[in-house]
């Protein structure tokens, strides 16, 4: 004890010696983490690198009534595009295609999807309220909330990017049953923001369907990339699917794209509607672009001239994008 004055008969306290334990703790902990991250995981899913770059977000929400068969048909008519959709389960366990966990956003009904049966959901007008295309054109045209089975049945040759929504128990099992029944394991990529949901899906599907990283898994990969450890990582996923920016902060960079490719992963970015942004992101090497304007992206990757959007606006000045929702 520097500067301490000892009274007669008192013995100075001995300093506790930790030896080399603190110096060994960091390396040992780090080694354990690396061993855990590099451990090979079961499952035969391969990275779908040969998929087309055009991913029709909700079927192309700026050119058709989102998440309906009508929108998917319009997207399919553009050619070889990926159909992106949102899946959740009804009260009776059927897998339906709808983004919001409530029907209020796009239909003429009210209530939670998980509390309504398929019959009740099918009574609703799926195009009553449409934030991108406007409801007037599609309202009262008989458009219904589709089931996932219907999508696979009507589009047997198209790839499907499936976003798990909702928190209803058993959703992952129900989705896997539909995918397996359709024999669509190799043409489906499943994603979910919540780590427990995507982990449950991987378990029930035995890793036979490609999946994308959850938000937490994406953060882990990004951190490992900064540390130069991404090549050692053996991730349980085959794709990264970030936005370019989130709440004003840059998420996607050319360096991240390179690191993902180094690790054998594909990179898809959402949701991009402006042609100038599409060109820039393709130059970075992204594998896919989720867009509400698949018609613009199809023309771009095919070498065509810029096209106007569904309301006549130039593609360089699209309607405002929803950056906070995939």
Task: Find the domain containing 79 and state its range.
Answer: 44-301
Q: Residue 189's pLDDT is what?
A: 98
In-domain check, residue 274:
yes
In-domain check, residue 39:
no
* Distance linking the first and last C-alpha atoms of the chain: 60
CA 179 to chain CA centroid, Å, is 17
- Per residue in 151-175, pLDDT (tens digit) is 999 999 999 999 999 878 899 999 9
Q: Give residues with Cβ within 8 angstroms of 235, minimum separation 6.
A: 213, 217, 221, 263, 265
Q: Residue 28's pLDDT is what?
A: 33
Average pLDDT, the chain: 85
Degrees, nearest 5: CA angle 321-97-162: 70
Give the Å distances, CA to CA, from 259 to 222, 244, 256.
9, 16, 5
Count of the separate structural domains present in the chain:
1
- Per residue in 214-232, pLDDT (tens digit) is 999 999 999 999 999 999 9
Give the Å distances, CA to CA, from 169 to 148, 202, 277.
17, 15, 38
User: What distance in Å separates the CA atoms of residue 308 and residue 301, rounded to the nearest whole number?
Assistant: 16
User: What distance in Å separates the CA atoms of residue 6 and residue 11, rounded to the nearest whole number?
Assistant: 7
In-domain check, residue 201:
yes
In-domain check, residue 296:
yes
- DSSP, collapsed to helix, strand or coil, labels residue 27 as helix
Ranked by mean pLDDT, the top range of 125-129, 132-136, 204-208 is: 204-208
User: What distance in Å separates the CA atoms of residue 218 and residue 197, rounded to the nearest whole number?
Assistant: 15
Q: What are phi and psi of 268, to 5 degrees?
A: -120, 140
Average pLDDT over residues 11-19: 45
Q: How confident is the model at residue 20 (pLDDT cuts 50, 70, 90)?
A: very low
User: What distance in Å separates the CA atoms of residue 264 and residue 45, rounded to the nearest whole number?
Assistant: 12
Residue 228 sits in a domain of what CATH number? Answer: 3.20.20.190
The DSSP-derived string for 29-63 is HHHHHHHHHHS---------TTS-SEEEGGGTTTT
In-domain check, residue 236:
yes
In-domain check, residue 325:
no
Q: Residue 137's pLDDT is what?
A: 81
In-domain check, residue 6:
no
Q: Residue 311's pLDDT is what?
A: 39
In-domain check, residue 93:
yes
Express as a percent the part of the chain with pLDDT over 70. Answer: 78
- Per residue in 238-281, pLDDT (tens digit) is 999 999 999 999 999 999 999 999 999 999 999 999 999 999 99
β-strands 239-240, 266-269: how paired?
A: parallel
What angle, 0 to 180 degrees and rounded to 10, lies between the N-to-C axes of helices 254-262 and 215-226?
90
Q: Residue 101's pLDDT is what?
A: 96
- Per residue in 50-73, pLDDT (tens digit) is 999 999 999 999 999 999 999 999
Q: Residue 48's pLDDT is what?
A: 96
Q: How confident is the model at residue 43 (pLDDT cuts 50, 70, 90)?
A: low
Q: Residue 6's pLDDT is what?
A: 41
Express as a percent the part of the chain with pLDDT over 90. Answer: 73
Q: Give residues with Cβ within 8 angstroms of 7, minimum separation 6.
A: none
């Amino acid at each position: 004890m520097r500067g301490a004055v000892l009274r007669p008969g008192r013995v100075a306290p001995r300093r506790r010696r930790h030896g080399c334990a603190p110096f060994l703790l960091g390396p040992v902990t780090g080694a354990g983490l690396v061993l855990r991250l590099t451990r090979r995981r079961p499952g035969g899913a391969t990275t779908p690198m040969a998929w087309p770059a055009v991913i029709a977000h909700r079927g192309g929400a700026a050119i058709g009534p989102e998440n309906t068969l009508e929108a998917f048909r319009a997207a399919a008519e553009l050619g070889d595009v990926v159909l992106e959709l949102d899946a959740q389960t009804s009260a009776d366990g059927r897998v339906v295609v709808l983004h919001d966990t409530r029907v209020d956003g796009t239909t003429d009904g009210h209530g939670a999807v998980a509390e309504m049966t398929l019959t009740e959901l099918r009574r609703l007008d799926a195009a009553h309220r449409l934030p991108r295309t406007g409801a007037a054109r599609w309202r009262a045209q008989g458009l219904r909330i589709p089931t996932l089975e219907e999508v696979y049945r009507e589009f047997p040759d198209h790839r499907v990017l499936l976003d798990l929504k909702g928190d209803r128990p058993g959703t992952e099992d129900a989705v896997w049953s539909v995918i397996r029944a359709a024999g669509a394991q190799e043409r489906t990529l499943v994603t979910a923001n919540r780590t427990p949901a995507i982990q449950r899906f991987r378990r029930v599907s035995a890793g036979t369907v490609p999946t994308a990283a959850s938000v937490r898994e994406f953060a882990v990969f990004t951190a490992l990339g900064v540390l130069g450890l991404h090549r050692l990582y053996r991730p349980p996923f085959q794709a990264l699917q970030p936005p370019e920016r989130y709440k004003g902060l840059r998420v996607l960079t050319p360096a991240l794209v390179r690191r993902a490719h180094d690790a054998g992963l594909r990179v898809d970015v959402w949701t991009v509607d402006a042609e100038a942004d599409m060109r820039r992101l393709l130059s970075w090497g992204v594998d896919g672009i989720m867009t509400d304007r698949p018609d613009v992206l199809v023309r771009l990757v095919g070498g065509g001239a810029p096209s106007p959007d569904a309301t006549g606006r130039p593609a360089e000045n699209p309607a405002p994008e929803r950056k906070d929702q995939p």
